């Protein structure tokens, strides 16, 4: 029995509790929500028909431990970015756009040693960035990867600063982003 997912999402990290969801490939793409606190997982299923509830209960009874172990390893891989002492790379894309009266800056950086680009999403009204990355960890037996997930909640403030600092003065939006992530 192995992990068979179609996607993973992390939507919040608050007070050392990680909230997210994943979809089960072998259960008709059933969405399972999780909370992880102190490396302990709880799983839930919130919506749907009785047949989906039954599928969730079956999955929970027979497979939850395998998935909990996988998810813990997945989250620990993200946290390992905090151990990187220095980040080097180059810009892949820089875009500025206006969204509902708010200036948004999308900056993609291809770091040395990273499988894919890291996406920074800066808002003109906030002093932080949403950071997303697609981890090269297969999530099913076909070797597929999950889509990009937001990782800023799992990174330390110092790590985020180390990631951004080499690029702060090189971006064409440096004056607009001067105050961000200092």
The confidence score (pLDDT) of residue 13 equals 94
What Å distances lie between residue 82 and 121, 159, 163, CA to CA?
19, 5, 10
Longest dimension (CA), the chain: 55
Three-state DSSP at 50 gives: helix
Query: Which stretches within 4-131 are classed as H helix?
Result: 50-79
Question: Please, which residues have CB within 8 angstroms of residue 66's CB and are 6 or more apart in sequence?
Answer: 1, 2, 3
- Dump pLDDT digits (tens) for 104-135: 999 999 999 999 999 999 987 777 789 999 99
Rounded to 5 degrees, φ, ψ at 125 are: -95, 0
List residues bridging with 105 in a β-sheet: 96, 122
For the stretch 22-70, pLDDT in tens is 999 999 999 999 999 999 999 999 877 898 999 999 999 999 999 999 9
Contact 22, 32 (CB under 8 A): yes
- Please tell me the pTM assigned to this model: 0.90
Phi, psi torsion values for 41, nearest 5 degrees: -110, 145
């Amino acid at each position: 029995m192995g992990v068979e997912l179609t996607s993973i999402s992390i939507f919040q990290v608050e007070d050392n509790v990680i909230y997210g969801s994943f979809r089960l490939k072998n259960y008709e793409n059933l969405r399972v929500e999780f909370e992880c606190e102190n490396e302990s997982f709880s799983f839930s299923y919130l919506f749907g028909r009785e047949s989906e509830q039954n599928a969730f209960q079956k999955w929970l009874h027979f497979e939850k431990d395998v998935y909990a172990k996988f998810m813990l390893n997945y989250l620990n891989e993200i946290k390992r970015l905090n151990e990187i002492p220095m980040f080097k790379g180059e810009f892949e894309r820089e875009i500025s756009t206006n969204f509902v009266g708010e200036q948004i800056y999308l900056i993609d950086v291809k770091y040395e040693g990273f499988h894919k680009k890291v996406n920074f999403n800066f808002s003109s009204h906030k002093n932080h960035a949403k950071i997303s990355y697609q981890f090269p960890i297969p999530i099913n037996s076909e070797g597929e990867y999950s889509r990009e997930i937001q990782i800023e909640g799992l990174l330390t403030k110092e790590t985020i600063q180390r990631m951004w600092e080499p690029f702060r003065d090189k971006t064409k939006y440096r004056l607009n982003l001067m105050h961000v992530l200092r």
